[in-house]
């Protein structure tokens, strides 16, 4: 079953798989198992991950949303179709640029020794997205891991 967001992308011709090429929102993608992708990403430093996420969000935002609320919804949709996990906003104060989110079914490497590094990667992906939305650097002040989810609090 396709997500609602993916259906919208298909309808708007913003998602295609043609001749071995996957295109989403004007960017070319490749599909990799999450453990392989996370192993590749962990070779980057956190600043590079955040910068890439920031630039990607700036690139696609004008195509999909015009206000912060729409952009935040889009982050959840992106997490859904890219397989990072289920993104849920727990609390938000747009005036103060504070937000807490819960990511459940988070993509993790099979290598449990690197679980903290994988969580850090997801943290910096979110930080880059939020920097593009809120117009300032967002820092994760709190991170709480549960059995099936991780809560991130950004300010």
55 vs 50: CA distance, rounded Å:
9
Task: Please tell me the distance from the alpha carbon of residue 147 to that of residue 62, in angstroms, as a whole number.
Answer: 36
Residue in the block written with tokens 């990511």:
103
pLDDT of residue 111: 57
Domain ranges in the chain? 34-154
- pLDDT for 135-154, tens place per residue? 999 999 988 877 678 899 99
Q: What is the mean pLDDT of residues 100-108?
A: 82
pTM, full prediction: 0.82
Fold of 34-154: Muramoyl-pentapeptide Carboxypeptidase; domain 2 (3.30.1380)
Cα 106 from Cα 101, distance rounded (Å): 12
Q: Which residue has the tokens 């090429």?
A: 21
Q: Which of 31-35, 115-119, 140-144 has the lowest mean pLDDT?
A: 115-119
* 50-86 pLDDT per residue, tens: 999 999 999 988 888 888 888 888 898 888 888 888 8
């Amino acid at each position: 079953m396709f997500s609602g967001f993916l259906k919208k992308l298909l309808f708007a011709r913003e998602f295609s798989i043609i001749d071995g090429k996957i295109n989403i929102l004007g960017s070319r993608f490749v599909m990799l198992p999450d453990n392989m992708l996370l192993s590749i990403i962990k070779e980057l430093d956190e600043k590079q991950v955040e910068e890439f996420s920031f630039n990607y969000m700036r690139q696609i935002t004008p195509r999909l949303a015009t206000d912060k609320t729409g952009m935040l919804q889009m982050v959840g949709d992106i997490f859904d179709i890219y397989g990072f996990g289920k993104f849920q906003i727990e609390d938000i104060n747009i005036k103060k640029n504070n937000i807490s989110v819960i990511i459940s079914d988070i993509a993790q490497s099979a290598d449990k020794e690197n679980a903290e590094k994988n969580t850090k990667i997801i943290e910096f992906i979110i930080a880059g997205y939020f920097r593009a939305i809120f117009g300032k650097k967002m820092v994760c002040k709190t991170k709480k891991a549960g059995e099936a989810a991780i809560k991130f609090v950004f300010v």
